[in-house]
Amino acid sequence: MRRTCLPLLLAVALTPLGGCTDPATPQAASEAAPTETAAPPIAVLWLGQQAAIDLWGNGQASVTVTAAVLSPPAAGRENLVVTVDIRLLKAGKPVTAGPENFIFRDTAQATHPAQVSAQVAAPQLTSTAFTTAGQASHGRVYFDVPTGTANGGHVQLVTGKLVHAMWQIGKQRPTG
């Protein structure tokens, strides 16, 4: 069977990425309800890669996760600290974004909510009401994870259970 590759356009510079999907199987087609529509695949981004996020009311924001650092807070646990940059590119309906929009899915598939602490990750990312194009928020969040489960896991940008983008820990920008 042949795989179908569709170009995905992400980031403000509209960097083309290859998104591949396996061909549909008759079994998969019969399992879906006739009124369901498939969501587009979510690209796995490298740390430092910018994601363009569509917002309600035709708004758009760019979100970047960078600088992942592990520090052990206690035996058997470690803190994964990441830096987050959010910028409203085009205003739509007012939206609030902050640490509550980030989770970490570790290599064991467990999820961990973002936390903020001046002692662990300063400056802290704060919840910000975005209403005007050009508004920006910058800061750090951390995830308390079991030792050894961070590398290969994903920082996910979410609204409720909907994942908008994800950055893989240990996946760095290609050189050259």
- Predicted pLDDT at 29: 39
- Predicted pLDDT at 7: 35
**Comparing C-alpha atoms, which of 145, 147, 152, 139 is closest to residue 64?**
139
For residue 18, pLDDT beyond 60 = no
pLDDT tens readout for residues 25-76: 334 433 444 444 556 678 789 999 999 998 877 789 999 999 889 887 778 9
Q: How confident is the model at residue 173 (pLDDT cuts 50, 70, 90)?
A: low
- Spell out the alpha helix ranges (H) of the chain: 26-31
Q: How confident is the model at residue 138 (pLDDT cuts 50, 70, 90)?
A: very high
Specify burial of residue 106 (Cβ count, 10 A radius: 0-12, 13-18, 19+).
buried
Q: Residues 127-132: what's their mean pLDDT?
A: 95
- Predicted pLDDT at 58: 79
- Predicted pLDDT at 144: 95
Q: How confident is the model at residue 172 (pLDDT cuts 50, 70, 90)?
A: low
- Predicted pLDDT at 41: 73
Sorted by where each begins, the domain ranges of the chain are 39-168
- Predicted pLDDT at 27: 41
pLDDT tens readout for residues 75-128: 899 999 999 999 999 999 999 999 999 999 999 999 999 999 988 889 999 999
pLDDT tens readout for residues 2-11: 443 333 322 3
The pTM of the whole model exceeds 0.85 = no
Q: Please state which of the four CATH numbers 1.10.3720.10, 3.30.413.10, 3.40.50.2020, 2.60.40.1240 is assigned to the domain occupying 39-168.
A: 2.60.40.1240
Separation between Cα atoms, residue 141 and residue 80, nearest integer Å: 8
- Predicted pLDDT at 120: 86
Helix (H, G, I), strand (E, B) or coil at 23: coil
Tokens of 125: 């990312």
Separation between Cα atoms, residue 9 and residue 138, nearest integer Å: 24
